[in-house]
Amino acid sequence: MATVVDAKQNAPVVSAHDINIQVAIQLANLVKSTLGPYGMDKEMVDPAGVVVMTNDGATILRETKLHHPTARIITEVARTQEENCFDGTTSSVVITGELMSKAKDLLNLKIHPTRIAKGYTLANKKAQTLLEEIGVDVTDDLLLSVGKTAMTGKSAEAEQDQLAQIALDVIKSTTLDNINIVKRPNGKVKDSLAISGLLIDREKMDHNMPDSVKDAKIALISVDVTLPEFAQQLQIQVNDNNAVKEFIESRKAQLQEIAETILNSGANVVLCKRDIDPFVVEIFAQKGVYAARRVAMSDMEAVAKAGKGRMVSAIDGLKASDLATVGLLEEVAVGEKPLIKLTEIETAGSVSVLLRAPTLHSVDEIGRAFDDAIGVISVAMEHGKVLAGGGAPYLHLSKNLREFAATVSGREQMAVESYAQALEVIPAALAENSGLDPLDTLIRLRQLHASAAGHSNGVDVENGGGVNMLDMGVIEPLSVVSQALDSATDIASQLLRIDNIIEMQRGPEIGEDGYQY
């Protein structure tokens, strides 16, 4: 009689390492094609049909719908990189994927995961020292190149000289938290400009309101300027026309009182986060008060900070001391719609940048590129060191880490060697995305890096082979590369230490935890 065999006994076992490695590689492949000046864009569509077209790694990873927990862990690399350095997100995720891919080969050789993680940590520590050795002190010209490099490969590239100069001028005149960026389509990128003051993407509510206000006293209101919600939901029965008129007059009197409260504070400008009742708008227009509604919270906060005012949520408590003061408020025409322009601000440091582009999608992408540019310039200024770009530092690290591996004892030596190999994924991806052969490019670059002065040679995306990136003006902050390596190493080491993925039990619902709500 034949023996019955359970088919499940022969089923392949998939370990947590296999799953994590596969997820890391897939996520890296998702963004790898966006690297470099010839990187491709991604078209992202949400359930409502809203389309975003971008090659910004941070945006792609933030907006992509991810279900796997490991993928969400890896996106922390992107979040950390973006928050700390404003650029290098794609590089950090791609390096993470390559480190996990190399770890798979080491695991197949029966090297323990914690040994691999330890080797990766040793390699990263040495890499940080090597980066400091090749760092170049910043100058204004290098900072300008840093801004241009950050915008390369994006919609802003055609006018990157002008935008990079604006970014440099802005960041040298103030701090990041004092920079306000306004984006407007239906224009040319070369029409972008920066002003000392604030720009708000709103307009007056009534054409009878003034176009400009000198010595503006601005009331910043975060609630609807109308009757309280409970007063709008009353159900009243009336028997004659006089009662109707009496009810209407009563409501008008209440709205008049609200308007008078604002006017008595001394305000001649009202910026409201929400809506303003039409009757109140009419009163403001008659009194020569400028009013705008649905002003973004970020703009309200910027005005409050610049004008030393306070945002209020209770109109009856509005006082003169709550008002923000500005020397001049103007409504200026920009394209089809006007903007509110605030200048002559006593508090120094408020700067606004107006970005223009032909379409809404392109101006959004230029906004992301410009945001990266001012971020990396500020990071470079703060750290004081920059590096050649184009994959040059990764090749330099790869070469020197191979030599360092020979000094490491134990099986960690193989992990250090794998770490060195993994770093070549960046120049290889730059070459491939530019239509070049990655293998031939790496061979040529290794030859150039063999000399002591070759550490500045990166991928020549135009002619193939390598070229001195410092001479080409392809520069990136040292801290961007440093943080990318730190983030990738930490997350790869963390994933390698996981041997089981376990679903947690459902947490207690309200009422099931014994607490009396």
The catalytic residues are: 56, 89-90, 372
Q: In this structure, what DSSP letter does residue 335 have?
A: T
**Angstrom distance (rounded) from CA 452 to CA 449:** 7
Encoding tokens for residue 231? 């007063």
Q: Which helix (H) or strand (E) holds 107?
A: helix 89-108
Q: In this structure, what DSSP letter does residue 384 have?
A: -
**Angstrom distance (rounded) from CA 128 to CA 255:** 65
What single string gives the DSSP state of each residue in 27-59? HHHHHHTT-STTPPPEEEE-TT--EEEE--HHH
What single string gives the DSSP state of each residue in 400-456? HHHHHHTT--STHHHHHHHHHHHTTHHHHHHHHHTTS-HHHHHHHHHHHHTSTTGGG
Instruction: Determine the 3-state secondary structure of 295 from DSSP.
Output: coil
Q: In this structure, what DSSP letter does residue 477 have?
A: E
CA torsion through residues 483, 486, 492, 498, sign: negative
**46: Cβ–Cβ under 8 A, 6 or more apart, which residues?**
52, 63
Q: Residue for token digits 């001391």?
A: 321
Relative to beta strand 290-292, strand 337-343 is: unpaired
**Angstrom distance (rounded) from CA 218 to CA 271:** 7
